[in-house]
Every structure is written in C-alpha cells, then in structure tokens.
Amino acid sequence: MAKTIRRSWVWHFSQPPETVWPVLADTPHINEAVGVPKYELEDVFRPDGSVLRLARAAPRHVLLGRLPLEWDEQPYQWVVGHSYRQDRRFHRGPLRWLGLTMELLPDDNGGTRAILVLEAEPANGLGRLLLLLGFLNRGGRAMERAARERMGVGTRGLPQVTGRPESAETADPHRLQRVDAMVAAIEASGNGHGLARRLADLVLTGPETDLARLRPLALARNWAVPPRHAIETCLAAVRTGLLAMNWDILCPRCRGAKNSVTSLDRLPHGVHCPSCNVPYDADFSHNVELTFHPAEAIRAVAPGGFCLSGPGLTPHVAVQQTLAPGERRVVAAGLAAGPWRLRTLEPGSGTDLDGPEPEQGLPTAVGDGRTVIPGVPAPAGSVAMENRGNHKLTFIIESRSWIADALTAHHVTTLEAFREMFSDAVLRPGDEVAIGHVTLMFTDLKASTALYGRVGDARAYQLVRNHFAFLAEQVRQHDGGVVKTIGDAVMAAFHDPERAVAAAIAVQSDIARFNATQADGQALAIKLGLHGGPCVAVTLNGRLDYFGSTVNLAARLQGQSAGGDVVLSAALAADPGVAARLAPLTPVSEQAVVKGFTDPITFLRLPATAFA
C-alpha cells in the first residue's frame, strides 16, 4: 500500500486571525499565484439526490507535457476565522489523494499562528517521484510566499512565486496603443472619473481570478472611490471595447452564477442550479447581477477557475462541515446575532433563524437528508450539527444577507449613465420583471402653458430642454436615472430611497442658480413628488419602464406639489435614511384624496421656504 507523505509549516503573522483569514481563505488568488492550473467541474447527480463534483484539469509540466488529472472535488470544510480543509480523490494522474488543512490560532501578542498541513498519497511511480522530489515542500513554501505577499508582509528567503508572465497583451505595442486610446475615450466621455488607466492596468496585468467576474462595487471598495464612479467607468469601458458585460443569475442558495447571458432580453424564465439541485427564477432586484470581464480582443481569460469551491468564494457561509451518518459534531464558532440559515449542501429544506439567544449558541442543526431542523441550543460560542440520515451530509451555517458587492440589474438600470449608454438594453417584448422596491420621482414645470404664451414656443422649448439637462444631472449625481420625459414632466428612478430624496432636495435648492443662468431671466418653478415601493419593470417604446400602483402614486403626489416644494409619501418618509435627512427640514404632514386611490393619502411636504 502506498505511503502517505505529510508536511507541515507554521507561519507567524502580526495581524489577528480575523485579519489574516480573508487572505489565507482566498484560495483562488493563492492558487493562481502559486501556479496551480485552472480546472472545470462537471456535476454528476447521484440516486440519493446528492451531487458529485467531478473536476478535470490538464496542467503542463516542463518535462512531461500535459498531465491529464481527474478527481472528486470533495466539499471544503471550514469554520470562518479558524480553519479549513480540502480533500481531492483522484481518478487520473500521479496522485491518489491530496489533502490540505489550514488552522489559525491567536498568539499571545495579538497576532496569528497559521498551521498548514499538506498530505498526499502517490498513485504510481510518477507520483512517488514527484513527492520524493519535494512536490509538497515546494507547494507549501510557495503558498506562504503568496499569502505573505497578499498580506503585505516581507518574504525574505522564500522562493519567488511565479507571477503572470509577459503575454501577448502586455508585449504587443499595437494592443497597448489601442488600450491607451480606450483610456482617453473613457475619460473624455465624462464617465472615467480618473479611473480608466487604473482599470486598464488591471485588465492587462491583474490576476485572472479578479478578471473573470469583475464587480464594480468591489472595485469601488478596494479603490476607495464612490460606487457610481466605478460603475460608470466599467460601463464606459464596455462602450470603448475594453470590457464586455454579462448578466449572471445567481443561485439563492450557493450564490454562484449558474447561468449567464450577454443581454437583458436573453434572461431565462427559470434556472436550475446543478450544485444545489434546485430550480429558481431570475429576480431582477435580487439575484440578476451585472458583471464585467476583459474583451476578448484585449485579453483572453481562459475558462475554469483556480479554486471553485473554497471558503473565499462563499464568504456568507460561516460554517461548512461534513458529517457521517449518526455523527454529532460541535465546533467553536462565535456567531453574532443576525439572519442565519441552517441547511445542507445536499438538496432539501432548511431553517431560517434570527440569531443565537443570549448566553447560548445557535440551535443544533439536525439533518436527516430531507430537511434541517433546529435542535437544542449549542453552548455559547459554538455551533453543533447532527446527522440523523443514512448517508454523509455537509451542513452549512450561512448568513441570509445578500452579496454586498453584487450590482443588481435593478440597481444598474436605475443609473443615468446606463440608460444613456445602453438605452437599447431591454427585456423581451411581453416580459415583465417584479421589482421589490424602487423610488420614483416625478417632476413637472409649474405654469408651463403660461410660459409658452409669454416667451413663445421656440424660447419655451429651449428652456424646457435646458431644465431637462439640469434635472438629468441632479439625478445622475444622486445615483438615479431618468426613465422618460412626458411633455414638460420627468420620471426618474432610484435604487436608494435616501439618494432619491437627496436628489429632490438638491433640485429645489439649486433651481435658483439654474434660473440665474438663463439669458432672459425666466424663473422656472418645479413641482416634485416621490414615492417608493414594489412595481413591475417592462419594455415600453424600446426602453425599460415601470408600472404599478407605486408609479401611479408617485405621479399623483407630484400633482399635490405647489412648485418649489417637495412632496413625498408617508411610507417613503418612514425609511430610516430618509427620516434622518428630513428631520432638520421640518416637513409638514398633509392628507388628500387623489385620483385612482379610494382612501385619502397621507404625505409630507417640504415647503419652498426650506430651500430658500
């Protein structure tokens, strides 16, 4: 019987485990830096409903050429901030088995002691030779180098990790000239915000792990810039040919992109996640995400991934553990109060929880292969799991909070830059998508008929056009988008209710400055109403539009405006962010019967004197 080879390392970091964990658990970046080959997965369904993940790769060896590898991708096991483990059982290749364990322990100085263990068993003579020549030693030291580089820690004496070699993209002067021209075009469009060069450098030289699914909200966080600036830069990069876009439909269980299309009119009506073996629908405001990747002509990113199932890919999962039938396990994991879910990786129903009770841990996750139910509370600072089924189960304790960095279809389609640059991005004719919440602003010019009579049609038309531009800029600066104009009126949509109210306040606060710029001193007064709630997105007249009672009420509230003021629904005013913004402006509560609504509508008015 082949002998298992085991090697271990102890690394010391001055940072605490909660700081070190996101780096050491980011296995895709570490694997890419080390030189681990990309691989692809095939999901094979078993009779018991579980899914076998069959992985295949073909790394290139200097002496041996292409080495076909095939293995079972066993589920990672981890406890966030503490440890993770991975096992690969090979069907083809020089190894029979490869295992990795990483454990983080706090030290006495507030730092971290990281313990890495690599284990392998050869499958043939080639495997024995590889292990004899130090395959595990090189891998472990290369992982340390990659981890310390990502932590920004010195690595003197460690072997150099292979980075991205010079490629056709970085060596071709004509390609670089085209990229330079794209950078200039992005900045000239007004959508670059000084970020185009930074984005182009990332496309040319960044890790493939970062580029396969570029998330602009993550870029904004990492670059410490406003989210809208990163989004607009990426959108402009698509227009110039630096980037391409995808609409990913994320599985509500594993959060993975299980289906992807290149345009909104190709969104499927239903999607199936092969990993979770569950069907789900595309939810425009929740799980349809816009991501970006380099355009093929600028940099080709090969399919597959450097790690397709590690803890760094699913940061919402705090605990993932595989238990044998009849096994009960308790692990240390201090989980804060919050929305949690107990489930298994295998198909079946789970249980939603609000958080652990005071002085206790979460209820025990009890699974039987069909469902997971809550059991007795675990000891404080721990998580307990119990497998009452007749086959192995992988238990998952996950946050129900959605992905913070996901740029949803609803979010991006409410932005003015998207509506300007991609006005043809629409749903299929006849399709409609439910939106959980959108804030709508309606405006109209006060006494516009008198204006036309006073200054003439040509001058009045020019004033109306100028005021449209003024409103569009205010909407854009507050992360919204103009949906359409109707005569002298404007309809705008916002993803964030607080930003919508901030835009309304800015309009009425700045209208005097706008009026002062008009040649003949005409003083325009704007009537303005806002309301937020659920609605339906459809394609109308070749553009994305919104329909429903939320739309109707927002329009009716604009009708209650006297001009120069802001009228908003009581429901919108109750939003915590909106309430905080309104407090110093002393809004006045009013009530009126409006067309299309049986009961009187309560609304708040910010009088024109609030903006003087």
Whether 455 and 584 map to the same domain: the answer is yes
Q: Which amino acid is at 251?
A: C
Last residue of a domain, one of 294, 325, 340: 294
Which pLDDT does position 185 carry in this prediction? 96
Q: Which of 294, 323, 341 is where one domain is finished?
A: 294
pLDDT value at position 155? Answer: 45
Q: What is the mean pLDDT of residues 186-195?
A: 96
User: Domain check: are 488 and 542 in the same one?
Assistant: yes
Least confident stretch, 87-101, 157-171, 520-534, 543-557: 157-171
Q: Is residue 417 part of a domain?
A: no
The answer as to whether 551 is a domain residue is yes
Provide the sign of the torsion angle of the four alpha carbons 217, 223, 226, 232, taken in this order. negative
303 assigned to some structural domain: no
pLDDT grade, residue 154 (50/70/90)? Answer: very low
Q: Is 451 found in the same domain as 570? A: yes
Residues whose CB is less than 8 angstroms from the CB of residue 52 and which lie 6 or more positions away in sequence, other chains included: 43, 44, 45, 46, 72
d(C-alpha 196, C-alpha 421), whole Å? 17
Question: Which band of pLDDT confidence, cut at 50, 70 and 90, is reported for residue 601?
Answer: very high
Q: Beginning with the edge strand found earlier in the chain, give each strand of the sheet holding 257-261 in spatial order.
A: 257-261, 243-250, 288-294
The average pLDDT across 171-175 equals 80
Same structural domain for residues 468 and 395? Answer: no
Least-confidence region, from 45-54, 356-365, 503-512: 45-54
pLDDT grade for 157, boundaries at 50, 70 and 90 = very low
With contact defined as beta carbons under 8 Å apart, do 397 and 365 qualify? Answer: yes
For residue 404, being part of any structural domain is answered with no
Q: Specify the pTM.
A: 0.86
**d(C-alpha 579, C-alpha 424), whole Å:** 36
Cα(337)–Cα(361) distance, integer angstroms:
10
Q: Determine what percent of the chain is predicted with pLDDT higher than 70.
A: 94
- On whether residue 605 sits in a domain, the answer given is yes
Residue 60: per-residue pLDDT: 64
pLDDT in tens, 255-291: 888 788 888 888 887 888 776 767 777 778 788 999 9
> Which CA distances in Å does 234 have to 154, 197, 287, 333?
33, 12, 20, 38
Sign of CA dihedral 318, 321, 327, 332: negative
Do residues 266 and 362 share a domain? no
- 43 vs 276: which has the higher pLDDT: 43
The answer to whether residues 483 and 597 belong to one domain is yes
Residue 156 lies in a domain: no
pLDDT recorded at residue 358: 62
Confidence of residue 241 (pLDDT cuts 50, 70, 90): very high
Inside any domain, residue 598: yes
Residue-level pLDDT at 156:
45
Q: What is the pLDDT of residues 470-507, one digit of tens each?
A: 999 999 999 999 999 998 999 999 999 999 999 999 99
Same domain, 461 and 590: yes
pLDDT, tens only, 205-216: 999 988 999 999
Residue 216 lies in domain: 168-294
Which residue, 116, 151, 186, sits at the end of a domain?
151
Q: Could you tell me if residue 159 is inside a domain?
A: no
> Among 112-121, 281-290, 451-460, whose mean pLDDT is lowest?
451-460
Mean pLDDT of 317-331: 95
Q: Are strands 271-273 and 278-280 parallel, antiparallel or unpaired?
A: antiparallel
Pairing of strands 69-73, 95-106: unpaired
Q: Is the pLDDT of residue 394 over 80?
A: yes
Q: Looking at the structure, tell me whether residues 442 and 536 fall in a common domain.
A: yes
Q: Which of 47, 48, 46 is nearest to 72 (CA)?
A: 46
Residues 445 and 586 in one domain: yes
Tell me what pLDDT residue 292 has: 96
Angle of helix 17-24 relative to helix 135-151, nearest 10 degrees, comes to: 120
Q: Which of 457, 409, 42, 35 is nearest to 245 (CA)?
A: 409
Task: Count how many domains the chain has.
Answer: 4
Contact 96, 123 (CB under 8 A): yes
d(CA 477, CA 471): 10
**283 and 322 belong to one structural domain:** no
pLDDT of residue 169: 59
Q: What is the distance between the alpha carbons of residues 241 and 485, in angstroms, rounded to a whole number?
A: 30
Sign of CA dihedral 445, 451, 457, 459: negative
Tokens (6 digits) for 199: 């984005």
Per-residue pLDDT band at 162 (split at 50, 70, 90):
very low
Q: How far is CA 460 from CA 360, 518, 563, 581, in A?
A: 69, 11, 18, 34
Q: At residue 430, does pLDDT exceed 80?
A: no
Mean pLDDT over each residue of the chain, to the nearest integer = 88
Q: What is the CATH number of the domain that holds 527?
A: 3.30.70.1230
Q: Both 236 and 273 in a single domain?
A: yes
What pLDDT is recorded for position 158?
41
Q: Based on the domain organization, do 27 and 134 belong to the same domain?
A: yes
**Mean per-residue pLDDT for 235-240?**
95
